[in-house]
Structure 1
């Protein structure tokens, strides 16, 4: 009965909860940590900061399915601080036992004794523990008699959509003491020296087992996507892809006429074209190529000096002019799903998301003018969570899958994204993200 109720609650939440990962931007360049941070601060806001499991799911969804590891914005600081496991909860109440805390190692955890006093302990010690939800009701304190390390205890609580208990007052401390069965129990207080590069105070941590490893100057953190996005600390000099957060500081519709160096993002040239996907029209591209001494187009380099005037009308070099209807733009150039996503976010808002019949009808009408048999939609499947979602909108329950497609009728592998058939009923299908198709971008209304 409890399992059924939880399942229905999750379904209800998915139909209303915002699953957009537009705040995260995967950058395919290989950079050391400091260069990656500098790039993100110049082009977006900063390296990605993670506040909770919802952010982790969005982060995983923002990277290609074959990504191994990428830098995020967690780095080792100089000050060791106590944090509650519940992100952003202030440490404004303490009840240390005499002689505590003791300053054990670089990482340590806190436990409560039968008298309700706290003591510092090595995190690998096996203890019973108390989980807690977001409610302050005493019934939401759950004592778990099984003994686990602090990290494994936290995972147990998170698997129940809870967390290790945070204590914010003497009254709450008494409630935890009352349910602890007169045992030493883990509470959700821990100490470390890790900090977010954007200065945020999130205490959320998602380490792999046996991590962090403090040997060999491993002062920077990457998400390991083959391990469900769990974190490793690595040498900051390692060259890795990375994930930025925040909106772009170089919008495609901004009018400029200057010499500027534009770093390459996730896009790569489609169809083996030497033109690439660049934020300027074909006329400007020709002008740039002619002015580039040495005979190499700036569009084919990782970062080239471009003397160009950007405009809100964007046509990929060598393609048919885009077809516009309201705030939708059909790009009649074949690209992979990730290239299409990056192109739309660079020049407009996002790949099109369909959340109702009226948008479906509008997209279906435009799709008939495509030069490919299907067009990309902003719909993606993540095999990590067995979930279809829109890249830039809330997870509305509207669907238009072709017969035999979509959940639960069809089982998909990793690397599948959503497309619309351009003929017939314009139904949705799942295709490999490496296929190259036309696509529709969505801009801000008006």
Structure 2
């Protein structure tokens, strides 16, 4: 089984893992607003600007955000007071081992070291020290790293190279003694930091994902954006700058229009659902939850299929329709293209090199396509499904007759979509259909003519 297939499968079975999961409904709004305007919009239409609780949330946002959105406001803003946090989300500061006179609380952005005596002291986060990571999943003890790095570089090393880990977080005298022994009388970074940043919705999440050498200029740049062109890492910026933004929570029934100088914007979101494992370790257990990413889209301007004035085609169903295969001499065969492209690029490729994007009008065709989709290198695969936003219905690009449908719960006729929504099939699980932004990058399936 390909690595991608294994990862996709884990998204469905992660309920059996003893870790806390990402749990956020994200709504990416493709409208330019200042931080204050964005926060007001989110509070009126959803709950608030987004709180990112862990790396699982961050990876979902980075993966599913359309490529044309380079950065967007999240709900992290400068506060009036500093607070010490453990770097692992959900870990309370219940045990302390400060050296006398520490912490000094001198710097806006401070981190903690364990000194050779096993006591803690405050340091500038840019200072280079050795450090201690949590062990990998399935191991028990901390791991000492002799390379000297800044606190954030050390944290990134633990996250990236140690996998599902972070700088060590200490919850008891016994754990402190274990780290002290591991450090072998060296001064080392631990996962304790202090900053003045707070979440707009009042959440106490300690998760941070700063770019190198950020944050800086605290007085002038007190609001935070995720920079998706840099892997989703965060940058603090002037709050008056107009950016796209990410809201959190279910959409309210009567949304406020997203007014802007851009034209043809809609606030009806398209929904993509993934059950995700967390990349942050914790001793607590929790049931599987889901991360939902909704995107508010612009009206597409370069579509090759004009459906804005289309009407719902009449469908006549009979009992045989659901199980009818194409005739044995049918010239159409399903071809999987293992390239990650947008929906429009997939449509153009299929029409140029084959016949069209795949359409599914019977249960037998669904089974045939689902079997091909299992070999994809993306978690979803484009189909020839498109949403007519002005007439509010889904159709196949080839306008093929048939009444068979296999939508995932909350998708298709049950979902809320803006212009630019297109259809894909899941590659694992029930292999049902979902609505996604046409700008997402996926493998795709063509019908080939032989």
Counterpart for residue 95 of structure 1? 97
Cα distance, 1:46 vs structure 2: 1.1
- In structure 2, which of residues 215, 228, 247 is the aligned counterpart of residue 212 of structure 1? 215
Map 1:76-155 onto structure 2 (within 5 A): 76-133=78-135, 139-155=140-156
Q: Deviations over 1:213-238 (max 9, x none)?
A: 12551000001111111111001011
Rounded Cα–Cα distance in structure 2 between residues aligned with 1:156 and 1:142: 12
Q: Does 1:229 align with 2:254?
A: no
Q: Match of 2:13, SS?
A: coil
Question: Structure 2 CA distance, aligned partners of 1:15 and 1:395?
Answer: 11
- Whole-angstrom CA distance in 2 between matches of 1:52 and 1:115: 32
Q: Secondary structure at the match of 1:99?
A: coil
2:310 pairs with 1:319: yes
Change (3 A) 1:323 1:45: farther
1:263 Cα shift? 2.8
1:243 equivalent in alignment to 2:260: no
Q: Distance in 2 between matches of 1:243 and 1:149?
A: 30
1:13 matched to which residue of 2? Answer: 10
- Report the Cα distance in structure 2 between the residues aligned to 1:214 and 1:177, rounded to whole angstroms: 35
Q: Tell me the TM-score normalized by structure 1.
A: 0.61
Displacement of 1:97 = 0.4
**Aligned residue for 2:157?**
156
Question: Following superposition of structure 1 onto structure 2, how do residues 321-400 of structure 1 map, counting pairs within 5 Å?
Answer: 321=312, 360=366, 370=395, 372-373=397-398, 396=428
Tell me the secondary structure at the aligned position of residue 31 of structure 2. strand
Aligned to 1:254: none
Which string of whole-angstrom CA distances, capped at 9 and with x for unpartnered residues, describes residues 417-444 of structure 1?
455557889xxxxxxxxxxxxxxxxxxx
Structure 1 moving runs of 4+ over 6 Å: 6-9, 18-22, 134-137, 276-279, 322-325, 362-369, 390-395, 422-425
Residues 53-100 of structure 1 show CA distances to partners (whole Å, capped at 9, x for unaligned) of 111111123421121111001000011000001012101110000110
- Answer yes or no: is the 8 Å Cα contact 2:22–2:54 preserved in 1: no
Cα pair distance change 1:196/1:394, threshold 3 Å: farther
Asked if structure 1 preserves the Cα contact closer than 8 Å seen for 2:227 and 2:233, the reply is: yes
User: What do you get for the CA RMSD once the two structures are aligned?
Assistant: 4.5
Contact 1:20-1:58 within 8 A present in 2 as well = no
Which one of the candidate residues 183, 199, 203 is aligned to 1:200?
Answer: 203
Flag the 1:23–1:358 CA change in 2: closer, same or farther, 3 A: farther
Tell me the CA shift for residue 20 of structure 1.
Answer: 9.8
* Equivalent residues of 2:385, 2:424 under 8 A apart: no
Find the aligned partners of 1:246 and 1:150 in 2 and give their Cα distance: 33
Give CA deviations for 1:361-411 in whole Å, capped at 9, x if unaligned. 599999699452499x999xxxxxxxxxx99998736779xxxxxxxxxxx
C-alpha distance 197-363 of structure 1, shift in aligned 2 (>3 A): farther
Aligned to 2:37: 35
Q: Which fold has the larger relative contact order, with Cα–Cα distance below 8 Å and residues 6 or more apart in sequence?
A: 2
Name the structure 2 match of 1:332. Answer: none
CA distance in 1, matches of 2:368, 2:311: 20
Label 1:243 to 1:395 Cα distance change in 2 as closer, same or farther (>3 A).
farther
Give the conservation status (yes or no) of the 8 Å contact 1:71–1:221: yes
Aligned positions of 1:25-64 closer than 5 A: 25-64=27-66
Cα contact 1:21–1:62 (8 A) shared by 2: no
Q: Counterparts of 1:391 and 1:210 in 2: how far apart (Å)?
A: 41
Tell me how far apart the structure 2 counterparts of residues 53 and 236 of structure 1 sit (CA, whole Å): 24
Equivalent residues, number: 320
Please tell me whether the aligned partners of residues 367 and 422 of structure 1 are also in contact (alpha carbons under 8 angstroms): no
Q: Is the 8 A contact 2:343 2:441 kept in 1?
A: no
Distance 1:59 1:261, change over 3 A: closer
Q: Distance in 2 between matches of 1:146 and 1:95?
A: 24
Aligned equivalent of 1:263, options 233, 242, 258: 258
